[in-house]
Structure 1
């Protein structure tokens, strides 16, 4: 990033800033607090209304060809029409739900119409009660004429005829509400509502031809708000205005040529020690899903390193270990190959598909190494059996492998921090943590193998690494003799993080535990299905198939959820804690978005 200061005549500020918005490379730094630039234009819909209308049309079952936008196109009228259709549809659905509930309540009394006011009941009314069979003896206490219209397994459905409202304590139940309408009239109302709903659905589909118009309107409104916000945050004085921003290095030359051609003064300089530039993550297409993973938690500082590639690779590996099954990995890979609507949502959908494909490939690879295919272990002499190099039931070896992954992951994080901040003293201290991490793991392996000299040599590496941490942990400047002591104290406090390092390394054991749980669950459901098939005659095959589908479906869902949650947790908590020095903020350029719609 480069720091940019622009200056131009205040009379031409709007046009000049609009030109910068067309250029689309400046992350503007406010020089004044922003004012209120959110007032809606007369006759134009609010952003909230336009978003509601757009969501309603996007959810339509079918879409029409998009209408061409003309100067006579009235966006406000389109949005109002869409929202009116949406509200009417909502009201009708509410009415339909209420009528259907009333129909369900009156269904036991059969198909009937209630008499009107001019009927021959002499002013009497009909009251409908569903009296539970256990309270059938209360029917004898009814002081009015009544008839039993139907009887179900749990209740007697009676009709009471009376000119007055029956007392509330006449029966242990309240009368069923009819709203003066019988079931035949309710069905007619329901049919009329369904007919109107069909018409509204046709109207909704017809309105979908304005989806692009609404999207462009939203983009124009967002561009206008961004322009107004930038205009309000410039520094104006004596007929001039000044604007400060950040620009990516590869766009700096283009910016200089553009603004000088417009008659503006420009100064482009490197960031100072106290400056905090925004973070722009730029990777090859294959690693771009890692950028989304980085943005999901928090953006790394601009002066730090880009963890996108490591995040993508480590998350795919952790997810695959937790699945530990080539069959489940094939399902993930197949999901990435299917023409799902999610994958069609622009650049984000493309990156999501790539991320899913990476998870699937890694899961198939790890599943082949662990020798699990929907919980089935291949025979030892087969090709798949020869590729089975990892035995999850060998607890000792699997635990060592999980710890090794944690050691390498955290060592990589410390090394990346050191490379990003070299030649600061603390960068050397981070190399000390790399030595302590690798040396500790080597000491454990040597001790477990019975090699005491090897363990002592590895512990020596640990001690050397911790000593390096003590000496180089602090970047405190030395201006007086006591600062040497303060540096040493900082180092002693820093080396206390060895307990955190130990706990973080052990946290990677969750990979072994969850991977083993997935493998055992899949194998257990296979055994249950086999037992059902042999013990149940006739329908045994069908029941066994249901057990396999339900069991593996449950195991797959649990494994995927665990793989996402715990795979990201190891990256965001353990790895980030040792590899990044803080949190940055994303690069958000002032640009026009209407042309992308």
Structure 2
């Protein structure tokens, strides 16, 4: 259920109490979703935003440092905030220093590599030659490039490195070069580079030890990050309000109707003024959505959050229907009891690693795993193996018409179309209940009638199943209800004309929506066929050698692993789509809302 909201204007007088302190009291209440009058802008907002970027970078740096090597420090709970700022500065400076030292180390190693390839030649030797009018240049060349220079007496091959010829040009012309890749000699001799490298490595180790020690300060930085985030929220609120002649500051927001008493009580205690109003059609685009739902419906929240799906304030709460059909679709799309068992065990393992904490994500995965397992048992699908499916005990649990091996494909497709018609009918029923006190409810009943007429047409056109005689009356009765009661404008006849004009395209869309549910059959079948193909590829006519057995195990693990990954992607693509587009379209849900996010400060 989507919570009913009230619009609220909150007034705070400019008294001796700073506005930050008053807003902090409001934030600790954590009830008011504030909508700014204008985008908040101030230098303090930019400063804290910059600090938050820096602390995020610092925490990322410390994440790379092994926690086991972190030096234990005393509790940071009583440290002042300036300590966190100093710690942040130390981490960023140490990381910057480490980056520069790593680059210097890499450059020094590259220069020392030159001596490995070209020999222990002192850089001063080049300078002495130059002083006597002799110029030595070093190059790397391919065999093809070298052949073009074979007639020159001043070009000498010194050796080979990295698949290229090492070439020296000895000339008395200072500007003379070769059209090859020139290799510059280091400016320092070998011993000096080695000493510099040793110093650089030692300094790098010290810097890394410093970062290792600073890793123990991660909690302090995380606390500072939370504090700065709350401070940023407070500033956004402060500069998103308006002022009346500098005497009173006020803000606009929305609050759940059930929380009005708690806010008004706090307002009376703090001397705040307020005006509470009902939301209007003009406010609908900015009214946030707060959904109260059962534990069952709440399980779909991770999927909706991942997809960014928030119903509009005036739209339907579809969480229960979304969860029910998403669970069912997941079972069909994956459709293998073996895969369902694997997903269940993986979820159990991850849940155990998390200390069996009660999280909605685990509840969702357990539910989906059981759905996959259940549908796999009904269809007799166990890792795509027909042999396993024919084991007498498992065969008794199978529904023969739904069976993946030897089942009735026409029946399965018809069942998918039936599921689609039910899914779309639920959407229209929800709308009919929503408009129960309006004639629009009759229009939704008309759409239900048309939906089932379309179901029979789809069966006839796709599966060659004759439609019943009463199909025509489903369309006639449904079209009349839709034409007469869809529009609630002032002009009854204009409403009829508008509805009749939109009706043909809407019927075509409904037809394609029902056909769209055949994807459940197609994707589920492809999952079974891929699993069966990997089994044939791995086992074939039998396993005659140990090596063949090892290869079969590898193929089975990789093959079924890939198939499970593709099946999981299919769930996200097709399982979500049927709810998000087909069903939501018939339930008139556009997911145009914004989530209820009250201004909240924890401390």
- Provide TM-score, normalisation by structure 1: 0.84
Aligned partner of 1:23 in structure 2 is 29
Q: Return the alpha-carbon distance in structure 1 between the equivalents of residues 319 and 215 of structure 2.
A: 38
Q: Which residue of structure 2 aligns with residue 546 of structure 1?
A: 554
The answer to whether the 8 A contact 1:279-1:300 is kept is yes
Deviations 1:311-347 (A, max 9, x none): 2332333233222222222333233233489969x99
Identify the residue that residue 312 of structure 1 maps to in structure 2: 323
Give 1:85 shift. Answer: 2.2
Query: Which residue number in structure 1 is paired with residue 62 of structure 2?
Result: 57
Query: How far has the Cα of 1:526 moved from its partner?
Result: 0.8
Question: Is the aligned partner of 1:470 residue 2:475?
Answer: no
Decide whether the 8 Å contact of 2:385 with 2:532 is kept in 1: yes
CA contact under 8 A between 2:40 and 2:237: conserved in structure 1?
no
Bigger drift between 236-245 and 363-372 goes to: 236-245
**In the aligned structure 1, how far is the partner of 2:115 from the partner of 2:229?**
53
Residue correspondence of structure 1 range 49-128 to structure 2 within 5 A:
49-62=54-67, 64=70, 67-71=76-80, 73-95=82-104, 109=117, 112-117=119-124, 122=129
Say which SS state the counterpart of residue 149 (structure 1) adopts.
Answer: strand
**Residue by residue, what CA displacement relative to the aligned partner does 1:144-177 show, whole Å, maximum 9, x if unpaired?**
474543478x55455666787795446xx42445
> Is 2:488 the counterpart of 1:457?
no
Pairing of 1:279-318 with structure 2 (within 5 A) = 279-295=289-305, 296-318=307-329
Q: Deviation of residue 23 (structure 1)?
A: 0.4
Deviation at 1:279, TM superposition (A): 0.5
Pairing partner for 2:597 from 564, 570, 588 = 588
Q: Is the Cα–Cα contact under 8 Å of residues 141 and 181 in structure 2 kept in the other structure?
A: no
Change beyond 3 A, Cα 1:168–1:542? farther
**Distance in 2, Cα, partners of 1:60 & 1:511:** 47
Give the Cα separation in 1 of the matches to 2:352 and 2:99.
26
1:347-426 mapped onto 2 (5 Å cutoff)? 350-377=359-386, 378-389=388-399, 390-392=402-404, 394-426=408-440
Query: Are positions 1:501 and 2:481 aligned together?
Result: no
- CA distance, structure 1, for counterparts of residue 527 and residue 112 of structure 2: 48
Q: What is the match of residue 9 of structure 1?
A: 13
* Cα separation, 2, equivalents of 1:444 and 1:224: 59
RMSD over aligned Cα atoms: 3.8
Task: Give the Cα–Cα distance (whole angstroms) in 2 for the partners of residues 443 and 408 of structure 1.
Answer: 15
- The match for 1:252 is 260
1:220 corresponds to which residue? 227
Offset at residue 499 of structure 1 (A): 0.6
Residues 86 and 575 (structure 1), Cα distance of their counterparts in 2 relative to 1, 3 Å cut: farther
CA-to-partner distance for each residue in 1:161-198, whole Å, 9 max, x for gaps?
6787795446xx42445545789987876666555444
Kept in 2: contact 1:533–1:543 (CA 8 A):
no
Matched residue, 1:208 = 215
Contact kept, 8 Å, 1:13 with 1:241, in 2: the verdict is: no
What does residue range 484-523 of structure 1 map to in structure 2 within 5 Å?
A: 484-496=492-504, 497-523=506-532
After the TM superposition, which of the residue ranges 573-582 and 36-45 deviates more from structure 2? 36-45
Question: How far does residue 24 in structure 1 lie from its aligned partner after superposition?
Answer: 0.6
In the alignment, is residue 567 of structure 1 matched against residue 575 of structure 2? Answer: yes
CA distance 1:294–1:537, shift in 2 (3 Å)? closer
**1:51-79 deviations in Å (ceiling 9; x for gaps):** 22222223433274663342374332222
Scaled by the length of structure 2, the TM-score of the pair is 0.83
Counterpart-to-counterpart distance in 2, 1:499 and 1:487: 21
Partner Cα separation in structure 2 for residue 485 and residue 104 of structure 1: 89
Do 1:428 and 1:468's aligned partners in 2 also have CA atoms closer than 8 Å? yes
Looking at structure 2, the residues matched to 167 and 333 of structure 1 have their Cα atoms a distance apart, in angstroms, of: 73
Q: Would you say the 8 A contact 2:45–2:232 is kept in 1?
A: no
- Do the aligned partners of 1:392 and 1:398 also contact (CA within 8 Å) in 2? no
Distance 1:187 1:430, change over 3 A: farther
Change (3 A) 1:120 1:440: closer
CA distance in 2, matches of 1:187, 1:330: 59
Q: Secondary structure at the match of 2:327?
A: helix
Task: Check whether the contact 2:455–2:514 (CA below 8 A) recurs between aligned residues.
Answer: no
Measure how far apart 1:25 and its partner are. Answer: 0.1
Q: CA–CA distance in 2 between the matches of 1:94 and 1:48? A: 24
Which moved further from structure 2: 496-505 or 525-534? 525-534
Unmatched tracts of structure 2, length 5 or more:
none
Query: In 2, distance between residues paired with 1:385 and 1:302?
Result: 49
Alpha-carbon distance, 1:252 to partner: 1.6
